[in-house]
């Protein structure tokens, strides 16, 4: 049992390593934003779509099919003359202005660099998105979160099975728990 649990602990740790590194890098970027150049590259494109479309999702679908845009259609401001909405995917935000009378469509593409994309992925959550890659990411985050819980539980078990390491394990566990709880309480009081 010990060997199986140890091997599982190791494999789960290796599986989670890249995800934890990604979250670590994006956390450093969020905490020290001045260290990084996060200004997106902005380009504007004008295209023509069929006129008299009254739904942002239909305009978004047209842009996806005809011009290769990808992302999730955000909340729209709809008037008889114009539809304004965003299409979002991690690292890219398309701001779309569609003129219903003429079909003239202006697309403003805000394209982030790699660190900016990591920042947006850090905030992505859930499994209800229209963009399938965001749903896949949400599923992977759920799997990694579960794996991290298993790593913690198996790590505690493995510590206590090694009698020589038991005291060190208890000390590290208590210090880690005390440090984490103190930071959470102080952080909560600051807000």
Question: Can you tell me the distance from the alpha carbon of 181 to that of 153, in angstroms, rounded to the nearest whole number?
Answer: 18
Question: Can you tell me the distance from the alpha carbon of 17 to that of 168, in angstroms, rounded to the nearest whole number?
Answer: 24
In Å, how far are 13, 74, 135, 190 from 89, measured between CA atoms? 29, 10, 11, 32
pTM here? 0.65
Tens of pLDDT, residue by residue over 107-130, are 999 888 887 777 777 777 777 777
- What residues in the chain have per-residue pLDDT under 50? none
């Amino acid at each position: 049992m010990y060997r199986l649990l140890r091997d599982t602990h190791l494999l789960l740790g290796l599986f989670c390593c890249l995800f934890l590194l990604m979250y670590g890098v994006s956390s450093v970027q969020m905490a020290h934003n001045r260290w990084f150049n996060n200004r997106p590259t902005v380009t504007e494109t004008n295209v023509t779509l069929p006129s008299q479309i009254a739904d942002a999702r239909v305009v978004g679908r047209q842009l996806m099919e005809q011009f290769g845009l990808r992302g999730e259609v955000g909340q729209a401001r709809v008037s008889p003359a114009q539809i304004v909405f965003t299409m979002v995917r991690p690292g890219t935000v398309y701001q779309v202005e569609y003129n219903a009378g003429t079909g003239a469509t202006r697309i403003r593409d805000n394209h982030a660099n790699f660190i900016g994309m990591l920042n947006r992925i850090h905030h992505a959550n859930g499994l209800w998105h229209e963009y399938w890659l965001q749903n896949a990411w949400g599923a992977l985050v759920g799997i990694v979160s579960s794996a991290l819980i298993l790593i913690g539980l198996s790590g505690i078990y493995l510590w206590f099975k090694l009698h020589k390491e038991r005291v060190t394990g208890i000390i590290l566990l208590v210090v880690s728990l005390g440090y984490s709880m103190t930071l959470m309480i102080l952080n909560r009081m600051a807000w």
